[in-house]
Amino acid sequence: MILFPPAKINLGLNVLGKRDDGYHEIISCMYPIPLRDILEVLPATSFSFRQTGLTIEGKDSDNLVVRAWKLMQRKYNISDVYIHLHKLIPMGAGLGGGSADATYTLLALDKLFELNLSVEVLQELSAELGSDCAFFVLDEPQLATGRGEVLRPIEVNLDGYYLKVINPGVHISTTEAYQGVQFGGGEHLQAVLSKSPEHWKNKLTNGFESNIFHNHAIIGALKARLYDEGAVYASMTGSGSTLFGIFKDRPDLTQSDYFERVYQL
């Protein structure tokens, strides 16, 4: 069985405050994009995991894909499998690739072993692996609240627009991102998203940007460049360091030293 876990972008991301459980309360629209990893899951006589493509640091046992399999084995006593993850989505870039891989592992195991789990159960399982994992159970735009795991559908139509994604390879730790985050700003997110992207500039905000742009000038410069190239809206996704621009006409690829892709939505 082969599946293609997608990346996501955040259309607005506002951190409303810190919760009693140590997490932060957020509001954001998560939107799946055509950038995808490749995940193969097959029955096997013993469990094994292989990873190719972009290099993932750390031990295999810490990989979210392996943790997802262990979760399903513990809860449903499933048999061993062989998993091959070919990584194309940059890591730690605000694109949610690791979360997508974990959730799609759950989806693959659900199908492979005919567990027939509901969307709600799959989202609950995904939330045990990470705050934004539950988003990837459904391949559609969703409004995320809570710590990112409380989801509901939202109408956002980007059909016909072009998306340019740039990642300069700058690593931003979660600690750094949250140390300078600006709280608030999510009151009008849904109202702004109800309009076309031409109306989003300076209204649809990411609360992580200000401090990260201060610490890493190249990231802020790339956002400015996307506007210079004609983007109707540009933003950082997640807590960085990936930038994206939404264009009415297909933009050129200009940053050969960085990870850069263009997609028609």
- In angstroms, the Cα distances linking 27 to 132, 146, 253 are 12, 7, 31
Active-site residue, selected from the candidate residues 8, 87, 164, 223: 8
Residue 52 C-beta-side C-alpha neighbours within 13 Å? 6
Residue 252 is classified by DSSP as P
Asked if 237 and 244 touch (Cβ cutoff 8 Å), the reply is: yes
Q: What is the rounded distance in angstroms from the CA atom of residue 121 to the CA atom of residue 124?
A: 5
DSSP state of 16: E
- Bridge-based pairing state of the strands 81-87 and 162-167: unpaired
Q: For residue 96, give every residue at least 6 positions away whose Cβ sits within 8 Å of its Cβ, in sequence order, or none.
A: 7, 8, 30, 89, 132, 135, 136, 238
132 is catalytic: yes
Parallel/antiparallel/unpaired status of strands 6-18 and 150-153 = unpaired
- Catalytic option among 101, 110, 132, 223: 132
Contact call for residues 260 and 93 (beta carbons, < 8 A): no
Residues 14 and 207: beta-carbon distance below 8 Å: yes
Does 249 participate in catalysis according to the annotation? no
Residues annotated as catalytic (active site), given as ranges? 8, 132
